[in-house]
Chain A
Amino acid sequence: EAGVTQFPSHSVIEKGQTVTLRCDPISGHDNLYWYRRVMGKEIKFLLHFVKESKQDESGMPNNRFLAERTGGTYSTLKVQPAELEDSGVYFCASSQDIKGSTEAFFGQGTRLTVV
C-alpha cells in the first residue's frame, strides 16, 4: 500500500512567485493535515481536511496560503505570492479516524526555499 506522497520534494522559487504543493494521502483516509516546519523551529499545524471540507484552518499563516482538496482525495497548498519567510518544509499527513486514536501517516515533506 502506498504511503502519503508529496510533490515536489524540493522547490526553489523567487519571492513573489507562486508555488503549488501537492499531497496524495493514503487511499481511504478521510483526514488530511498540512504542517510546516520553518528552519530550526517546531513543526506547526496549518490545517485539517475531513474529506473535501476544511475542519480546522486555524494554523494558516495568512491569506497568501490557499489549500484545497477537491473530491476529497489529493490536496494542494498554494502560496501566492511567496515571501522569504515561507521557506521551510511542508508536511502532509493523513489518517482514518478523526478522534485521533489512529495513527497519522506523514509524507516525506516538500522543502520550499524562497529566494
Chain B
Amino acid sequence: AQSVTQPDIHITVSEGASMELRCNYSYGATPYLFWYVQSPGQGLQLLLKYFSGDTLVQGIKGFEAEFKRSQSSFNLRKPSVHWSDAAEYFCAVGQRGGGNKLTFGTGTQLKVEL
C-alpha cells in the first residue's frame, strides 16, 4: 500500500527566507506526486505535480519540488517566502491509471514571521 510521510508538523520561517517542506513516499512504482496548499477558509489548491520527465518541477506562486527516486522524496521549496504563504501544505501520491485517488500526508503547517 502506498503511503506519504510529512515529518514536520509545523515549520516557522521569516518572510524573505527560503523554506523546504519534506515529503517521503512509499510506492511500488513511479508514482504521480502532488503538493497541495490549503489557506484558511479555502479549499485545497494544487501547487505542482510530477508525472514524468524532468525531476525538478515548477509550480505556481514560485514553488518548486524535486523528485528524488533514490530517496523516495518530493520536497517542496521556495527561495523567498511571503507572508501570504502561511498555510497548510499537503504532499500526496497517486497511482498511475488510478485517477485522482490520492494518498495524502498529514500536512505541514507553515508559519511566516514578519
Within 8 A of B (CB), among A25-69: 31, 33, 35, 40-45, 48, 55-56
Q: Is B106 on the interface with A (CB-CB < 8 A)?
A: yes
Residues of chain A contacted by B92 (CB below 8 angstroms): 43
Within 8 A of A (CB), among B73-114: 90, 92, 94-107
**Once A and B bind, how many residue pairs between them come within 8 Å at the CB atom?**
68
Q: Is B63 on the interface with A (CB-CB < 8 A)?
A: no
Interface size class of B (residues with CB under 8 A): 20 to 34
Within 8 A of B (CB), among A1-34: 3-4, 31, 33
A109 close to B4 (CB less than 8 A): no
A41 close to B106 (CB less than 8 A): yes
The smallest C-beta distance from A51 to any residue of chain B, in angstroms, reads: 13
The smallest C-beta distance from B38 to any residue of chain A, in angstroms, reads: 8
Q: Is A93 on the interface with B (CB-CB < 8 A)?
A: yes
Whose C-beta in chain B lies nearest to the C-beta of A40?
A: B106
Could you tell me the distance between the alpha carbons of A43 and B103 in the complex, rounded to whole angstroms? Answer: 8
A108 close to B42 (CB less than 8 A): yes
Residues of chain A contacted by B43 (CB below 8 angstroms): 3-4, 91, 105-109
Residues of chain A contacted by B95 (CB below 8 angstroms): 100
Residues of chain B contacted by A55 (CB below 8 angstroms): 99
Could you tell me the distance between the alpha carbons of A101 and B32 in the complex, rounded to whole angstroms? Answer: 9
- Ordered by A's residue number, 12 sampled pairs between the chains whose C-beta atoms are within 8 Å are A42-B103, A43-B102, A48-B99, A93-B44, A100-B96, A100-B98, A100-B100, A104-B46, A105-B46, A106-B44, A107-B43, A108-B41
Chain B positions near chain A (C-beta within 8 angstroms): 4, 32, 36, 41-46, 49, 51, 90, 92, 94-107
